[in-house]
Chains A and B, each alone.
Chain A
């Protein structure tokens, strides 16, 4: 029976039984005991918004195990891990797996990769920054604290000083271009408030009434006053003494306005004035190149005022971004266009998530667990037959998600059985190669599936991929070569690479292909494996 026919019947059934019944069914599936717990409330809001439109069935076990490994561990499960899950008879095995993965050492590493790509947008790497992220996610640091550490990095704290890389990399001068203070300002808005204030630099936004020029300028005042410190060997950012408000005027009406440091939507702070020589807490030192620590630091003000429970944009932004990570599409989409004229697809849901994450003191692991436990998360990505594909923002079926370069690297290694082999230096080289091949260009958010010529040539010809297909003791190629029964071979191949059993059709195709190529069996096996690694199915979290 083909996947598509299976879907037809279950989707049809769901439709017939109606939403009310389906909700009860969903609760049963996810083992969430109480309907007032967050996953159930999420599912209810999704179902309500879907009205009469049918919702997709729960995905099968194989899809689930692959999906949740990719999302929480940053890789596909090995064939052993997959088999263990599929063979398990535990009624509660999905939730158990979720908790196992959240507790595993793969989880903080996955979060580190995810937030590195999200916050740095492939501008580059830095070991101090990596250390900061790693420690943060190992400790499940609350988001507000993490952002506070980024917005006002403490160079005296070795564990977190690398957070300054967020700023210093953006302030790096590239060629003859001016230092991109507006870009840094913009990214603070985009990434922590979900607000792209770019157009509000020169005028109140033309289309977005809620983005005011003063919102941009209030932050810009802060960041145009910063600089990369050159007295320290690690990334560090300094601030000049801020003495006056920023003057600005709209390019349209030319009316002159001023503002001091201000969080968008918040209150402006008066810039304190000090007597001469009193403006520094620690004065500059020419001998050591120490730039001085001003008594009033606007970055400190922003770090105190921006990442707070009371700042709705801040809470909405992280709720929306975590939702995006798990569900493949932001409730607010694009992620940095949170404003009144770009309403969330499910406003009440965003409010709910936002309130909940505030209530949980910005505990991201908690929030991700809630999301993964939902039926919405666990729905199939298979299209219902006979009707138009549901719009992605309805979440009626699961949205396919792009695999990041890091997820692909890890998954290729797991699939081909070559994981754990490379030494640390080789692993880093491999990571750089995968990021180069699969990462977006710098500053372009990695949101959608974006295969490219460089990624295809990488998979076609780069030894980083092709070497994995050569037999090594115990790896996929080695195991497959030892299997004489082609049908068994097909099963093992599909389970290892795509984390599922082949369909009958696929099994037959493998058998026939191998039969035709008896005299070049090793090459044929490598070709079969390669084709699955290069397939869209492998490159997506579906």
Chain B
């Protein structure tokens, strides 16, 4: 079916606004697990907070210049390979720091997906490319915050660190509704009005909060539930973010962090991502743009991949050292890979047929490579995995049984991942 511009978020949903509660903000109201069937997992989840770091290299990182090098072959490009910390596993020489963290990573070299256009590809991948049921599926970020439910960090459950503008990005949530959108921190900057007004002392701030809470408590005694709860939720979140505004102040980074993460956007944003994960944000997405190297791919990759390598290795190392990697699922990927064929502009074009991604942590086996491509990298010669397989795998890594759990979209049961796919057992610890 032709991509339908109209069948967007709220199609086929009769009473979106009934349960929407708090729209238009960073997830006001409560995050009930009410519209998910399978109740057992909710209990499991409470044992430990799971978190996700999702690094999106927009435009398509070349698998050949990163995770699946083919040195000295027709399409192998100019670069050498290097050994990693796991014997027998090699990366492109553009990933020297990450190669030293391979013991934590799981590399998938056998992705074979459906879409070779950015405009639709980004969405299809991030929504898990489910079967078309005429509804718009949530992005992985919205799915995870919905399925994992709230934690007690008091922070927005879904943060998106990206270059350029910020704001509340709600369309990603698909049929789950705006509540499950992400709070985007444009250029890693905090939201507006985070700074305490000069006329308000800390004591004032505290007393204001207490007095407001008291007023809301009184009101709620005689009125319907929900409104005061939502109001308190957003005030508490605002105050929590104010308390943690140092998080956004990169001038307070240690020299060691600055050196290890780098001062470019992706480095700064991954450092901020680490702080947000430490603070308890459930899903942190970090976007890097400009990976669509149709031209001068090799010089482009030199710059891009190396600028990814350094902070990515640093955050893996840091999460591991802090013991957080056990509960944080890290994923780094694009909407597709790049053609083995090198075009006349020394570029590589879009290639969904045989590409790679990397993941780590939380329920994912460590130090392994799954799948393979043929000698010149032009096709997958092991079992090909679609993005649906990855969604199944990630949900299971997070403790969610992807084959039993369903969304309940106004009594329309919907699988959380493509039912034609399955979790990749090899990847799960």
Contacts and interface: CB of A to CB of B under 8 A. Distances in A.
Interface of A: 2-4, 7, 176-178, 180, 182-183, 186, 198-199, 201-202, 206-207, 251, 333-334, 337, 342, 381-383, 389, 400, 439-441, 444-445, 447-458, 460-463, 466, 469-470, 503, 505-506, 509, 513, 523-524, 526-528, 530-532, 534-537, 539-540, 542
B17 A448 contact: yes
A153 to B, nearest CB: 24
B23 A460 contact: no
B6 A454 contact: no
A528 B224 CA distance: 24
B14 A536 contact: no
B222 A3 contact: yes
B28 interface: yes
Interface residues of B, number: 70
B4 A201 contact: yes
Contacts of A450: 20-25, 28, 230
A51 to B, nearest CB: 21
Nearest to A533: B212
B78 interface: no
A527 B24 contact: no
Nearest to B213: A531
Interface of B: 1, 4-8, 10-12, 14-18, 20-26, 28, 119, 134, 156, 168, 170, 178, 183, 191-197, 199-201, 203-205, 207-208, 211-212, 214-216, 218-228, 230-231, 233-235, 237-239, 241-242
Given A201-B7, A454-B193, 12 more contacts: A3-B222, A198-B11, A441-B178, A444-B24, A445-B17, A449-B22, A449-B226, A450-B23, A452-B24, A454-B25, A454-B168, A530-B208
15 contacts: A333-B15, A334-B14, A334-B15, A451-B233, A452-B168, A452-B234, A454-B168, A460-B208, A460-B242, A461-B197, A462-B192, A503-B218, A531-B215, A535-B212, A536-B228
Contact of A448 (B7, B14, B23, B204): B23
Given A450-B25, A470-B199, A456 B238 contact: yes
Contact of B207 (A177, A447, A527): A527
Closest 9 CB pairs between A and B?
A452-B25, A531-B211, A453-B26, A456-B238, A457-B193, A535-B215, A182-B6, A440-B24, A456-B234
A207 B12 contact: yes
A342 B15 CA distance: 10
B11 A199 contact: yes
Given A4-B222, A199-B134, A509 B214 contact: yes
B134 A453 contact: no
A530 B215 CA distance: 11
Contacts of A503: 218
A532 B215 contact: yes
Contacts of A333: 15, 17-18
Given A198-B7, A201-B4, A201-B7, A457 B222 contact: no
A452 B5 contact: no
A444 B170 contact: yes
Contacts of B15: 333-334, 337
A76 B199 CA distance: 26
Nearest to A470: B199
A529 B234 CA distance: 19
A334 B23 CA distance: 15
Contacts of B242: 457, 460-461
Among A382, A440, A456, which residue has the most Cβ atoms of chain B within 10 A? A456
B199 A441 contact: no
A224 to B, nearest CB: 12
A531 B212 contact: yes
A445 B20 CA distance: 11
Contact of B212 (A3, A342, A453, A534): A534
Among A178, A207, A439, A536, which residue has the most Cβ atoms of chain B within 10 A? A536
A400 B25 contact: no
Given A455-B234, A523-B204, A381 B223 contact: yes
B234 A453 contact: yes
Nearest to B214: A509
B23 A440 contact: yes
A454 B14 CA distance: 28
B208 A531 contact: yes
B234 A536 contact: no
Contacts of A526: 199, 204
A383 B222 contact: yes
Among A186, A382, A439, A527, which residue has the most Cβ atoms of chain B within 10 A? A527
B222 A382 contact: yes
A455 B235 CA distance: 9
Contacts of B195: 461
A188 to B, nearest CB: 13
A527 B234 CA distance: 19
B215 A452 contact: no
B24 A389 contact: no
A451 B28 contact: yes
B12 A206 contact: yes
A453 B17 contact: no
B30 to A, nearest CB: 13
B224 A460 contact: no
B14 A337 contact: yes
A199 B12 contact: yes
A457 B245 CA distance: 12
Contacts of A4: 221-222
A274 to B, nearest CB: 32
A250 B215 CA distance: 55
B241 A183 contact: no
Contacts of A400: 223-224, 227
Contact of A513 (B170, B178, B211): B211
B224 A448 contact: no
B218 A506 contact: yes
Contacts of A535: 212, 215-216, 219, 231
A2 B24 CA distance: 35
Given A452-B22, A452-B24, A542-B223, A202 B4 contact: yes
Contact of B231 (A207, A524, A536): A536
A252 to B, nearest CB: 10
B238 A460 contact: yes
A2 to B, nearest CB: 8
A228 B214 CA distance: 52
B11 A466 contact: no
A466 B219 CA distance: 23
A98 to B, nearest CB: 24
Contacts of B214: 509, 531
Among A206, A445, A460, A461, which residue has the most Cβ atoms of chain B within 10 A? A460
Contacts of B228: 536
Nearest to A330: B17
A418 to B, nearest CB: 15
A534 B208 contact: yes
A513 B214 CA distance: 12
B271 to A, nearest CB: 22
